[in-house]
Amino acid sequence: MAFVRTEVEQLTFNPFTKIGKEWFLLTSGTPDCYNTMTASWGQMGVLWGKNVLTAYVRTSRKTFELIERNDLFTVSFLPEQERPALQFCGSHSGRDCDKAKETGLVPVGLDGSTAFAQASLVLVCRKLYAGPLDMTQAVDSGIPAFYEKDAMHHMYIAEILAAYENK
């Protein structure tokens, strides 16, 4: 299989399923210095005249350090048989282990960032906006409960520069 560039507008999937149920790997850095994490929060749409993806990263995550230093990141959607790798990458820190080595994921360079050979779909994204979520602005009193024990999320709005399907 090989990655084939696809126009973002030609992609057909349900983002609620793709993001919220299937999850994705958010990866920042180059193949020689990167980290990845599993994510299940995000949005896709159009903002500022650009196709965008919004991702959320807790400030305590190693990926946060890398995404802060790099303009690019990738979003890799994996097939169902890779669910154990997604679970591992969501429950272990890149500070403590080599996630690719532990899961069998194969990192590949893609447009100046890092993705994984097993991905069925990869989005290459460039940061347009980054900032902390401000819970003083939350209008639903239940939302701050997500932060009682864990670090705050940083929000990244990024232009989707390219989409690659693994065919």
Query: Locate tokens 């932060």: which residue?
Result: 147
Cβ count within 10 A of residue 50: 14
Closest CA to 35 of 69, 2, 5: 69
- Which among 99, 92, 79 is positioned nearest to 29, based on CA atoms? 99
* C-alpha distances out from residue 57 to 26, 80, 95, Å: 9, 23, 16
Distance of CA 33 to the CA centre of its chain: 16
Q: Three-state SS for 157?
A: strand
Residue 148: predicted pLDDT = 76
Return the sign of the alpha-carbon dihedral for residues 153, 136, 43, 20: positive
Give the tens place of pLDDT for each residue, 97-151.
999 999 999 999 999 999 999 999 999 999 999 999 887 888 877 777 777 777 7
User: Each residue of 147-166: pLDDT tens digit?
Assistant: 777 778 899 999 999 999 99
- Residue whose tokens read 């303009």: 71
Q: Using CA of residue 58, residue 16, residue 120, residue 86, what is the dihedral sign?
A: positive
CA distance 161 to 97: 30
pTM of the entire structure? Answer: 0.93
pLDDT value at residue 139? 80
For the segment 30-89, what is each residue's pLDDT rounded down to a tens digit?
999 999 999 999 999 999 999 999 999 989 888 999 999 999 999 999 999 999 999 999
Q: What is the pLDDT of residue 167?
A: 87
> Domains in the chain, start-ordered, CATH in brackets?
3-135+143-166 (2.30.110.10)
